[in-house]
Structure 1
Amino acid sequence: MNISLEVKQLKKNQTICISGSKSETNRLLLLQALYPDLTIKNISDSDDSLVMKQCLQSRSLVKNVHHAGTAMRFLTAYFALCTHEKVVLTGSERMQQRPIHTLVDALQQLGAEVTYLNQQGFPPLQINGKKLQGGKVILQADISSQFITALLLAGSKLPDGLEVELIGKVTSRPYIEMTLRLLNQIGIEASFTDNQINVFAVKNTINSEVTVESDWSSASYFYSIIALSPIGTTVTLKHYRQNSLQGDAVVATIYKAFGVNTAFKNNLVILEKVEEPEHRELTLNLNDTPDLAQTISVTCLGLNLSCKLLGLHTLKIKETDRLKALYIELTKLGGNVEVTEDTLTLSKHLGIRKNISIDTYDDHRMAMAFAPLALKVNLRINNAEVVSKSFVSFWENLQKMGFDLRTIK
């Protein structure tokens, strides 16, 4: 499905309900599989979470996660410790190009039986579940946090617990801390000191209820919409907490630089454009929150602000090579862009080109990050249905705010 987007007049003071965080949901779904007495409320309705549930509940010997990276990583660790369980874990063509050897190596250190069915270091995987005792693994700290989280979620089921020693500077630390805080919340003892993480074996039955907070990564697109709107424009988002577990909640602080104020009231968060940006150049290190890079770079393009975004080395192994994709699409729109292995630099432009078709590369965040730019110019989004990976009702919510959407060939 390709769509054209334009905004004749944005509707002010709308209230939007975003489903539960995909990151929290998928962690909790795996913990629920380990501890069936755990109850989860406000589960994400994203494709990734649906795939996670299906793979955990299906009796099929072949588990297909499609494009769901979190499911691939988390389920690799889960099935490795499911005694007498033998499964093949596979995914889409792109998933089979995303390396997983770091996680497999760590599991093999613990005694797991995991082998590669095609290319060494990549899915699909043959996993023969067995009883693992636990112990210590050593990992480079700059790897995807999902590898580390996969181990931590499984760690409490190991009789000897789990110790993870990280070497170097940690990438996406808030996602690791989210995992540990969720473990603590349901009664599992876990700690993160310096570069050492410990998860202790559970001695008692887990009996808990957790309500998933709405997704802050999804909220970021509404921050972009408000930043690109006139002063006085507001939107209210449901089911958010000021003391969030999610690393991407830092978007509230980042978007102050774009003139967006954030106010919390009960379980609501109210965004308001209060001023135009004072700074014409922005430098941000997104090492901890790389999923915000697409949203921020498009906001800067729309406001004609220069920016330098650092710490983006993990973007190359996401749903697509996001650095390459951003370079291509921002350039098509008239942006002056440079990228390196871990940096994106955007300079001021002479004007945004109209009626450009944005390719999405099977990446939900490419579609959603570029959509707010319709406040500045008419544009097209190709394969717009990819948003269902994390935000099923995204386009309906944009229509509610006054975006005019038309399906095109």
Structure 2
Amino acid sequence: MMHRGGSMGEWMDEIITRFSEQAALVWAEQETLEDDAMFRRLWNLAGETGLCRVGIPEAHGGVGGGGPEISEMLRRLTLKTGNLGLPLALMISQLVAHFMVGALGSEDQKAAWLPPMAEGRFPSAFAVSEPKVGAHPGKLSTHAEKIDGQWCLAGKKSYISNGPMAGLVVTIAVVGEEKGRKQFSAFLLGGDTPGVDRSDAMALPFFRPALHGNIRLDGVSLGAGTVLGHPGEAYAELVLPFRRYEDAMMMGCVVGAFRFVLDRLGDAVANPDDAVCETAGTLAAHVTALERVARVSADLTADPSPEAVEESTALLLHFRQVAGCCRTLVASLEESGFPLDDPSRAVMEDLAASSGIAANIARAKQVKLGRACLAAGKGL
């Protein structure tokens, strides 16, 4: 339990230190462990040390907090461990717990799911995207039909973070159509539900040991009490806001990773010249600024207003641009004779490989923002 009178930050430092000490023993076996075995052991440690309790109310076994606390936990964890894989898995699970089950669930749903999530009995996942069509609402085809009081689900979902081992998968399915637009509901799908096939796993070359996979739903039958939120409104209630929450939380991971690398650069070379120091100073300034952007973005997750959404978009676009500059500066320092140690190099490789995720979405947002800006300038 979190010490009464102690700050959330102090508690985080204590449990993250305890986690990292034990996790080091698992990482020492990485050459002999498969990713799924490594992930399971690290996830169990996360549950045992209390990391999974952040963002879940005390009444359901958590320590409270919301977006800012989840982001800060992810930042500190990445900074301490120099690993982005487990923070990514935790990010998805805590988003599901706080912004989905915690925010939209009935009292029965919260009582059923939040306590085991706080204990870290399993990771959770959010299943929206489908093979070849992504998350485009007009092209999603996984559907749910109500027959004799039960919801029957069928279809395929892809690119699911935590999918292979998720004990809870919040699944988006088409439940009808109105005026030519599909209507979606979200379903609380237990990982061991009959008819769920998770054999089609995916291997990504970054964020090790995070697990990703596809699921096939065939003959899945769920009770009426498994619908999360308002029936037919899941795309607006869950899917659209989720990207903003995910972007904000991921900023915490990224700034923790950059700070991890920056803190280790000082031991690399003695007596660097002024040009190298200038580059390092620019990097340090950028990282400090990104930490501030990450905190503000996390704060904004509690505000659903259009103004907050617009501000979040601007901060995200700025963050992505400056993060790219930081990667370039680290590469420049390495070329100047600052060799990265193996943990730092692994972090930078993860950041580089993942920088293309949602790049097209970010570009589209940037174009939209630019058009609005230019139109306003012309008085259109």
TM class by smaller structure: under 0.3
User: With structure 1 as the length reference, what TM-score do the two structures score?
Assistant: 0.26
* Greater relative contact order (Cα < 8 A, sep 6+): 1
Q: Which has the higher strand share?
A: 1
User: With structure 2 as the length reference, what TM-score do the two structures score?
Assistant: 0.27
